[in-house]
Amino acid sequence: MQLLDGKQTAEQIKAEIAQQVAEIKAAGGKVPHLAAILVGNDGASETYVNAKVLDCEQVGFDSTLIRLPEDVSEAALLAEIAKLNENDDIDGFIVQVPLPAHIDETRVTLTIDPAKDVDGFSPASVGRMCLSLPTFISATPNGIMELLKRYKVETSGKHCVVVGRSNIVGTPMSILMSRNSNPGNSTVTLVHSRTPNMVEVCRSADILIVAIGKPDFVTGDMVKDGAVVIDVGITRVPDETRPRGFRLTGDVDFASVSEKCSFITPVPGGVGPMTRASLLQNTLKAQQLRGQF
C-alpha cells in the first residue's frame, strides 16, 4: 500500500505557484489577487478563511478579506459581490459557506462573475466543466484529480465508484472521472443514501472515492484487493486525549482498508491540503484566463 500524500504534494504545488509568482513579479506583471467574503463568526469558517489568506501570503498572492456581520442583508452581500465583480484588481473571489439561513446561497453563486468564480460553484462553471471547456473546477475534486495525476494512478478503463452526490464533491467528481481526459476515462458509478446494494457496488470499485461525512463508514470488507481509495470525509470526533478535544476522522476505516488497497489518502494530510492548494491554482488560472470567458 502506498500513501497518496496530499500534504507533501500540496507543498510542492505551492512551491511551483510561488515560483510562477516570482517570475510574474520579475517581469513587472501584476500578482494574482484573491478576495474572500466571510459572513458572521462561525469558528470553522474563520479557520478555513484564515488558512486561505495564509496560503496566499505563502505563495506571494495579494489577498483581501471582507468581513460582514451575521445579520447582513442579502442585498448588501450581493452588492459587495457586484463590487468585486467590477474590481479590476481582483482576479478571483470566494464567498465562504455556509451562509446564514436568511441568505439564498444559489442567488449568491449566480451573482458571482464566472470569470472570477475560483470556487467553481456557479452553474456556469459546472456547465463548462461538464463540456470540458476552460473553467474553474471546485477545489476538492480538482485536488483529487491532481493527486491522481501526480501519483500516475491509472484511471482509464477502470471502474470508479463515487460515494456521495453533493454539488461540491461527489457530483463533480463523478463527472470528471468519466470525462475523456487523464485522469478520467473511468466507468463511473455514483452511489448515495438510496442505493440499496452499496457494499456490493463498493467491492467492485477499482477506484473508490468516498465523500459522505460518516466517520470510518467504509471498512476493509467493502474494498476490493488492490483498489485505490480516496477518503474525502473530515469529521471532528470527540477525543479527550487530544489537546483540542477532538480528532479529525475520515469516512474510511484506515486500519482495515489500508491492508487491502494499493493507494490510500490519509486523514488528515490527504484531500484537505490538496483542496487548499487547488484554490491557489484556480486563482492563478483566473489571472491567466482573463478575457477568455
Binding positions for ligand NAP, rule: CB under 6 A:
140, 163-166, 168-170, 191-194, 198, 211-214, 232-235, 271-272, 275
Where b means 16+ CB within 10 Å and e means fewer, 11-36 reads eebbeebeebbeebeeeeeebbbbbb
Which residue's CB is nearer to ligand NAP, number 168 or number 177? Answer: 168
Which residue's CB is nearer to ligand NAP, number 83 or number 236? Answer: 236
- Phi, then psi, of 89 in degrees rounded to 5: -80, -20
Which residue's CB is nearer to ligand NAP, number 170 or number 266? Answer: 170
CA distance 257 to 107: 41
Among left, alpha and beta (phi > 0; psi -120 to 50; other), residue 74 is: alpha
* Catalytic residue (choose from 52, 116, 158, 260): 52
Residue type, 160: C
- Phi, then psi, of 94 in degrees rounded to 5: -130, 150
* Catalytic residue (choose from 119, 206, 216, 231): 119
Which residue's CB is nearer to ligand NAP, number 84 or number 190? Answer: 190
* Catalytic residue (choose from 5, 14, 55, 96): 96
Taking CA atoms, 9 is separated from 12, 13, 64, 111, 269, in Å, by 5, 6, 26, 33, 10
- Pairing, β 159-163 against β 92-95: unpaired
DSSP-H helix ranges across 43-118: 43-59, 74-86, 105-111
Shortest Cβ distance from residue 233 to ligand NAP (Å)? 4
3-state DSSP percent of the chain in helix, strand and coil, to 5 = 40, 15, 40
Q: Is 240 exposed, middle or buried (0-12, 13-18, 19+ CB in 10 A)?
A: exposed
Stated length of the chain: 293
Shortest Cβ distance from residue 164 to ligand NAP (Å)? 3
Beta pairing partners, 189:
161
- Enter the C-alpha cell of residue 132: 470540458
Clarify whether 119 is annotated catalytic: yes
Beta pairing partners, 36:
65, 94
Shortest Cβ distance from residue 288 to ligand NAP (Å)? 24
Which residue's CB is nearer to ligand NAP, number 90 or number 202? Answer: 202
Shortest Cβ distance from residue 128 to ligand NAP (Å)? 21
Shortest Cβ distance from residue 249 to ligand NAP (Å)? 9
Shortest Cβ distance from residue 73 to ligand NAP (Å)? 26
Which residue's CB is nearer to ligand NAP, number 71 or number 239? Answer: 239
Active site residues: 52, 96, 119
